[in-house]
Amino acid sequence: MHNPLQPSAQSAPVAEPGDEDLCIISLCATEGVGPASIAMLRRAAQDRGMSVRAAMALPVAELEADVGLSPPAARAVAGITAPLAAARALLARLRRVGIRAVTAGGPDYPERLMACLGLQAPPALFLAGEPALLGRPSLAIVGSRRPSRTAAEAAWLLARQQAAAGTAIVSGGAHGIDAAGHAGAASSGGTVVVPALGLTRFHWPLPGGSGMPEGRWCAVGQFPPQSGWRAAQALMRNRTIVALSDAVVAFEPRDSGGTWHSSVTALRMRKPLFLVAAARDGAKGRGLLCLVRQGAVALDPRRMPDAPALARLIAEYRPPACADQLALFDEVES
């Protein structure tokens, strides 16, 4: 296994997970098994008075008919023939590249994920870097992969100022606005990256190719460590970014796509949402207008608020009264 994250220090030793946590880790590391399937397995195990390990060993037909798993998920679960050994072997491989796993309810698992996402929260996370950053006040910076120069500079400045004030900047590790936010935050305070693929396949979007930003960072993986990029995972990642954050600043959102999805998710979660757009024509103009009408607050990219000013804006923000109507603006992201 290669090491795309290149951690600067080894993680502190952690206690060996119990059998149930090992089963959860093995499930979360399996392609085709998501949070909903794991919740069904856990509920079936509880109802039957059995362990999760025993529930995983049920016949495929029973996993489908009685537990409620989809046929692909049932087959994937049945394919895990030795979950404890598989999880231990995976954890050993991950430790060698500076990644460790935490399960929901554990000391390094961010409580805000469970509070915001409930059963949709990842049952386990794969973490690299400094998990303590997940306990800080946090701000999501998301936006276009092809931003205007003005927007990219504004994102970098905002991230740098907020991180210097003790706020962790959360973003998705993509090129464009995400990269500007990570770069501005890492050297001045700290940044959290939530990629839409497995951590062992993730590379920081830095000039010149792969590498690691200078400064403090934490990488949060919610998908199998060797999983490739998928559109559905990008949407799940967007939801996680918003859930991990106290507020969201979206740069130049179009009226569809990933930034749009993150923005609508923020409104639904009643998180303060701010928009920054230097380019206001076409799809970006339509996205800005629609989101402002739904409750977002527009900021001037040439006069970005400093940390105290943004704190006041967040404190004064009032979420939209009818967040349920945001379903009218759903889009399928490409």
Domain residue spans in the chain? 19-99, 131-329
Q: How far apart are CA 3 and CA 22, in angstroms?
A: 23
% pLDDT > 70, the chain = 89
pLDDT digits (tens, 9 = 90+) for 135-192: 999 999 999 999 999 999 999 999 999 999 999 999 999 999 999 999 999 989 999 9
Tokens of 66: 């009685």
pLDDT digits (tens, 9 = 90+) for 213-245: 778 999 999 999 999 999 999 999 999 999 999
pLDDT digits (tens, 9 = 90+) for 18-46: 999 999 999 999 999 999 999 999 999 99
**Please, what is the Cα angle at 325 between 322 and 326, to 5 degrees?**
105
> How would you classify residue 228: left for phi > 0, otherwise alpha for psi between -120 and 50, otherwise beta?
beta
Task: Label each residue of 281-295 as H, E or C.
Answer: CHHHHHHHHHHHHHC
Confidence category of residue 322, pLDDT binned at 50, 70, 90: low
Amino acid in position 204: W
Q: How far apart are CA 138 and CA 278, in angstroms?
A: 24
% pLDDT > 90, the chain = 78
Q: Are 53 and 68 in contact (CB under 8 A)?
A: no
CATH code of 131-329, in short, is: 3.40.50.450
Amino acid in position 313: L
